[in-house]
Amino acid sequence: MSVGWYCLDNDIILKLATCDLLDETLKSLDIDVSILKILETAKYKFSRLQEREAKRQQGNEPVKYNLASALSIAESCSKISADEVNQNLWLELQNIEGIDAGEAILISYVSYLNQQGDPSYLLTGDKRCLRALANCGIAKIVEPLHHQIWCLEQLILKNIEVHSFDLVKQKIVPVKDCDTALKAIFGSGELATLEASQVALTAYIEDLRQHTGNLLHSYPEDEDL
């Protein structure tokens, strides 16, 4: 089993919860919930979103996320707040356009742990944040994060490899509208194929890699965690 902490941002929690793929993702990465950390404020954000979704349902509008599942995940994970991170790193990150306060907490936490020789990872769905981080020019923050970040498309590809394409497709197709990339990749529904999905996921990963330097984990090129 891998060691260290795995930090999840709110976006990745929402997407994995909605696709009902958190348990599969943990198995794919050979980790368990005891080494997950999320923002202390996550449950409050999900509660607010749940209220908005309830209003959408009343107006017969489609619901985008499974907020009940996201809240359940938030309750089961260890929490992290601004008080627990390296303040210097956190403050520097907050001055970077494209990185919000929550992402700054997670990034500073993971970066500092890696600086200290405690290999840890960030799982994120925020591509804008990753681009901003890659171009911030703060080597002491960025370099410890090299190959320590997983994006959503990498996690989906890993789940397909470890579990099966049919299982992943069955879970994603009904809720594909929760994410732009997933909607594009699985837009054909039951007609989506393994080969086409793998090609599309890899293309999304490589495009993001082009804009984020060495931040992304080297998977699928290197399957060692």
Q: What is the structure's pLDDT at 222?
A: 59
State which residues form the domain around 58.
5-212
Residue ranges in the chain modelled with pLDDT below 50: 1-2, 224-225
CA distance 76 to 78: 7
Asked if residue 138 belongs to a domain, the reply is yes
- 165-207 pLDDT, tens digit per residue, is 999 999 999 999 999 999 999 999 999 999 999 999 999 999 9
Asked if residue 18 belongs to a domain, the reply is yes
Asked if residue 127 belongs to a domain, the reply is yes
The answer to whether 136 and 96 have CB atoms below 8 angstroms apart is yes
Asked if residue 225 belongs to a domain, the reply is no
CA distance 207 to 158: 17
Q: How many domains does the chain have?
A: 1
Q: What is the structure's pLDDT at 63?
A: 74
Asked if residue 218 belongs to a domain, the reply is no
Please provide the DSSP assignment of 86-149 as one string.
Answer: -HHHHHHHHTSTT--HHHHHHHHHHHHHHHTT---EEEE--HHHHHHHHTS--HHHHGGGTT-E
| Nearest Cα residue to 68 out of 43, 88, 93 | 43
Asked if residue 26 belongs to a domain, the reply is yes
Asked if residue 222 belongs to a domain, the reply is no
Asked if residue 207 belongs to a domain, the reply is yes
